[in-house]
């Protein structure tokens, strides 16, 4: 993953696209890894993405059958938040653990207690690895790959966190292999093993245990960090914009009251709540730069010649803040996603999940989680920013995803 730090960092220049011709640097940039996220476009990526999408659907993504799993997790989040009463607390571990449990229950077949030390360490490692992978030292690794093996500094720390994550995931995969019952697949890993066995005589098949490790790593990392950072941003924005929070509360009161459990069927009746989530996503662009592409032909775009073979890094952050597209783009205004009748409007330039063939594979899952968790938390709590605490920078911390800077919050029971 570190190989990509160069692209992601350079793409931060706030033009909508960043072009880079690999030969200009006099060294070869490594662009591919197994898995889905950084797999090169081709038959292996297609096979793996198709299988992963249909297996996620099998486990309820995009359908109501997944709702109970997400709702179950909400019970634990609320219990944790209630423990703090009127005191402020750090919401990061609670939200990360809860979001990760949704993907873990589908992919690994189990959820983890919020006190589970090994899992807590894993989530910390993951956030740290993402942060380190865009550390400016890491850029040098693209030029001198051997730096990665230095026995000190951020390289050593990155190696250690990568090793811990690898050990954790490989242990779970091995346990699945040893206890597999092909007639009763428990989760994504079991389905993958079964599919690999079915395909074992197919020479074109890319399904094997080594590849499975990368797919699970992608699901685990992409499925945790993105959605949890979006939810954390939502809580932060609600605490800093109480007038918006009041409107969300009013809509929830009208549609759900205090006791009705939120469901995707309520979405259509809650346009302001949805518009609020969308505006947080627009403002914060938790995946500010999407997956690098490569020009298959020389092309001219807006007067710029893009030579064949150029690496292109679409800058989603910049699209979301483009003053030619959005009125007052730096202001937080959920109503920009509503028409004069208060109904939700789709905006072409709203692309938090990217676009095209590599569009986010977890979009449906993320949208379900964001709506159900946000609506349910807002139904139960009023979020306040602690009075005497300094306001955090709203620019966030860049580390492959854009996370909010650390903050504490008060969750008052409604
Ligand atoms: C709010 C949450 C999320 C956001 C904002 C987000 C955003 C993105 C973006 C911008 C991309 C790159 C798309 C492109 O290059 O055009 C992407 C790719 C991807 N995302 Fe997400 N994502 C989220 C949640 C998830 C979840 C929950 C999963 C887990 C299932 C996931 C799995 C993936 C995968 C596997 C890819 C690579 C797709 C491919 O290359 O074919 N994402 N995501």
Ligand 1 midpoint to CA 387 (Å): 36
Tokens of 136: 């400016």
User: Can you list the domains of the chain with their CATH numbers?
Assistant: 2-413 (1.10.630.10)
**Cα gap 329→283, rounded to integer Å:** 8
Return the beta strands (E) in 215-272 as ranges. none
Which atom, in ligand 1's list, is nearest to the CA of 39? Answer: 40
Q: Looking at residue 137, what is its pLDDT?
A: 66
348-363 pLDDT, tens digit each: 999 999 999 999 999 9
Strands 381-384 and 409-413: antiparallel
Element (H, E) at 229: helix 209-240
Report which of 46, 210, 229, 31 is spatially closest to residue 130, judged by C-alpha positions.
229
Task: Answer yes or no: is pLDDT of 116 > 80.
Answer: yes
pLDDT confidence bin for 146, thresholds 50/70/90: confident
Say whether 405 counts as a known binding-site residue. no
25-58 pLDDT, tens digit each: 333 344 567 788 888 888 999 999 999 999 999 9
Q: How far is CA 249 from CA 1, 50, 264, 379, in A?
A: 41, 39, 17, 7
Among protein residues, the one with the nearest Cα to ligand 1's atom 16 is 354
Ligand 1 midpoint to CA 363 (Å): 7
Ligand 1 midpoint to CA 36 (Å): 10
Which atom, in ligand 1's list, is nearest to the CA of 357? Answer: 41
**Cα gap 130→203, rounded to integer Å:** 35
CB-ligand 1 contact for 227 (6 Å cutoff)? yes
pLDDT confidence bin for 151, thresholds 50/70/90: confident
pLDDT confidence bin for 124, thresholds 50/70/90: confident
Ligand 1 midpoint to CA 358 (Å): 8
Which residues, listed in sequence order, are joined to residue 293 by a DSSP beta bridge?
312
Among protein residues, the one with the nearest Cα to ligand 1's atom 2 is 227
Q: Looking at residue 237, what is its pLDDT?
A: 98
**Cα gap 262→266, rounded to integer Å:** 7
Among protein residues, the one with the nearest Cα to ligand 1's atom 1 is 227
């Amino acid at each position: 993953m570190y190989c990509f730090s160069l692209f992601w960092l350079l793409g931060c220049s706030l033009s909508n696209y960043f072009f880079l011709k690999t030969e200009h640097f006099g060294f070869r940039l490594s662009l591919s890894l197994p898995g889905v996220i950084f797999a090169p476009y081709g038959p292996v990526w297609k096979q793996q993405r198709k299988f992963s999408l249909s297996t996620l659907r099998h486990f309820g993504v995009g359908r109501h059958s997944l709702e109970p799993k997400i709702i179950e997790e909400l019970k634990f989040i609320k219990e944790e938040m209630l423990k703090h009463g009127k005191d402020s607390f750090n919401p990061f571990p609670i939200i990360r653990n809860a979001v990760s449990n949704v993907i873990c229950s589908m992919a690994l077949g189990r959820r983890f207690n919020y006190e589970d030390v090994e899992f807590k360490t894993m989530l910390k490692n993951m956030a740290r690895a993402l942060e380190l992978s865009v550390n400016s030292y890491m850029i040098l690794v693209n030029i001198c790959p051997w730096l990665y093996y230095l026995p000190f500094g951020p390289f050593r720390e990155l190696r250690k966190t990568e090793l811990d994550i690898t050990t954790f995931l490989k242990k779970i995969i091995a346990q699945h292999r040893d206890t597999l019952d092909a007639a009763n697949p428990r989760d994504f890993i079991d389905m993958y093993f079964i599919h690999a066995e079915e395909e074992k005589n197919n020479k074109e098949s890319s399904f094997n245990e080594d590849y499975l490790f990368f797919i699970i790593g992608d699901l685990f990392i992409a499925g945790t960090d993105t959605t949890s950072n979006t939810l954390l941003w939502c809580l932060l924005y609600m605490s800093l914009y109480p007038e918006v929070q009041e409107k969300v509360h009013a809509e929830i009161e009208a549609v759900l009251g205090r006791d009705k459990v939120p469901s995707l069927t309520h979405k259509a009746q809650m346009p302001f709540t949805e518009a609020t989530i969308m505006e947080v996503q627009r403002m914060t662009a938790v995946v500010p730069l999407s997956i690098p592409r490569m020009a298959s032909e020389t092309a001219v775009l807006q007067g710029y010649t893009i030579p064949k073979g150029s690496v292109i890094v679409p800058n989603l952050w910049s699209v979301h803040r483009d003053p030619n597209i959005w009125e007052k783009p730096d202001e937080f205004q959920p109503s920009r996603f509503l028409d004069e009748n208060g109904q939700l409007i789709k905006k072409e330039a709203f692309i938090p999940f990217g676009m095209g063939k590599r569009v986010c594979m977890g979009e449906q899952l993320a949208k379900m989680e964001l709506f159900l968790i946000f609506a349910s938390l807002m139904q139960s709590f009023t979020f306040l920013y602690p009075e005497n605490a300094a306001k955090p920078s709203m620019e966030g911390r860049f580390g492959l995803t854009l996370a909010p800077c650390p903050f504490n919050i008060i969750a008052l029971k409604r």
